[in-house]
Structure 1
């Protein structure tokens, strides 16, 4: 075919970092072959070299390729030459998109090693076949890498960059004690002091404590520390599917989980309590956290249920009062205002009385919640076992595993079913007593802190134990605890 007049030929050469030392793919070798091909074809036109040095062909985000496509779209190119198909791309979808773009601008694509030209039907067919083979091989390489990584993960090897609080020594995590102290403190601040992500980050930044790589703490970095199972010594891998642009979490049955495979920084019990608080955190109004008054955002009117807000009363000596917002804003409630210092005094006295009788009053509630939590954990474990068995059935049907593997998985499922049937509804008294004792301890800590800590810090402790406060009348207060 005749070379289009006034248009040039682009010679595209590429090597990735791991290919630089391999024979036959060096940039000089590619240039030599492509120029020789042009001479053999008798093309006496302008020839331009475009180089991508050190770039993989897994995608088309390469500076040289972008420059090539820009020239194609401008209409100044007649042909694009490569020594081999995978120099342009290893993904069939990307290849077809590029070839389609070349076709739209009447640019032919030539691979000298595979001896085809996309201007011919046979060349286009060969291109698609070779592209499919190239993508298939790349996926096989990816599967082998994943299998090797899965084997390493099951052996307790750490496969990525070390998290805060650890260092990586010969692919194994070791505790970095200086940072581990900060991790334990973050868990205590969140669980025992009632501080949120923002408050924790602010406190650490004010103290000049840096996070990873000397950066400041943020809401996200604090949450990552509080939710990463590595800190309780559990290795979790293969949780997300990263093969596509948008990462998606996989089913739990596909996860690789190895409890006790790593050195722990916090106890498993404390880590689990943090997750429960994160997932089942009561919805506290924002004003309950930010109000400078002890019961601000918590106190409700006993007559209409509306929130009671702080106002000022008296002259010339003013004092704080809690007033029903429905009366204040709408005039629809007959509740009178109450002096704030008196209401807060009644609340503290009521809380002290409640602490003395907390075991008797909340025992039934605690038992109910322990039963519900136990049931949810059993259901979750059984669902994961059923999912694993279903995947083994699919694998056996496809001929990927032996019958013995399927039988072994069925035995594990039967064992889980048997455990569920055998486990009765007996309540673990140790767990119930532990929950009650922790609640009593938190109430006592709050009472001891009154008059010692400033109100903002006092409220953080208060929100750990109190869910709602209702002012029924003179010296009559109803207190709902967080159980």
Structure 2
């Protein structure tokens, strides 16, 4: 359990080869030659994972519509491959935009991409530098495309066309909103519950969830979903576009002068006068903004023991006697969990008492199959030899890919490196002392207890998160503390 080792990705290696009929006739490019060279490269690098071949014969690289390339992409999405190797970059694609799109797909699934002729490997610093340069060029192209798209969208919005997915209560027909009567009746009912029955966002969401009415996504209703529906001008027949900066991470609201506002673009579900009346009432019921830096001790690590959802801090009690509580977010926002509300002062005190007890009684248990090693001996000189051997072998690999040496020379160098690595592994034993580990954890817990009531909450929370993964509330006097 405690042995230190580099985790090896055991997923398959994908070898992709391609040749068009024209290229084969002109340059004599052979699929077998590509296949053999790439297979030899894998063996030379000491990669023992299963190798899978994706071979497109007589296929052009002008686009991504190639049978075996599509299959390769599907295997990447299924997380079945660890590496993809080609002889040259243009085997994968001749278009920069397509190449970058493929590499982005590989990166998102933690698949390294290697081209042996250009010595391009997304796992190396030089490979990542090349990728960043290519990415900068692509970013410039994307900005130019974005400008053209924005111009087109401004034109479409001014023509009254709807530019995104239809809001709940509508469906799209020729890029225009058409009322869906089944959903529209629910929208009218929500507005009525809010305006006439004086129900809040949470009460409306809870009522709809209890009745089993699905939301636009087919999932449960949230208080914030109701709030967004109540304030959406689309329901009074108005199209508003360009309110938010789409290229920024926080999507900040733009100045009103930049908005595109067109009245009467589609049939309203809610009468405009009623909609305006609802907005006046909604101003008084504005949801509090979520705090980016909670000042409550257990925020972020506290979990509901019934449903597993996070628990957030809230206020409860009478108007003149408020006190802090922690409550399940599924209970608070959707009404779908029956978890209790716990006073924050009592829960935080229980947490501190439990930590104190852990700092005294913590015991480390090993799995029966794990035996702690007793001795430790590391040879610095041998480590240096292994380091030099790996560098020397990497140079040999580069020489082989350039055609300067034979496969036999590369294999001999690999054997010499493997011998040194085996010697180092045989001499290198990691010492695991259970008592020392227990004392280290207890020491961290004691330190945490000593400073908990003296430092600001924000600092204390950071220290807690270094030791504690989560706290699960089982009852008023029952919590589970999961250490990292």
- TM-score (ref. length: structure 1): 0.40
| Larger Rg over CA atoms | 1
Which has the larger helix fraction?
1
- TM-score (ref. length: structure 2): 0.39
Task: Indicate the structure whose relative CO is greater, using CA pairs within 8 Å and at least 6 residues apart.
Answer: 2
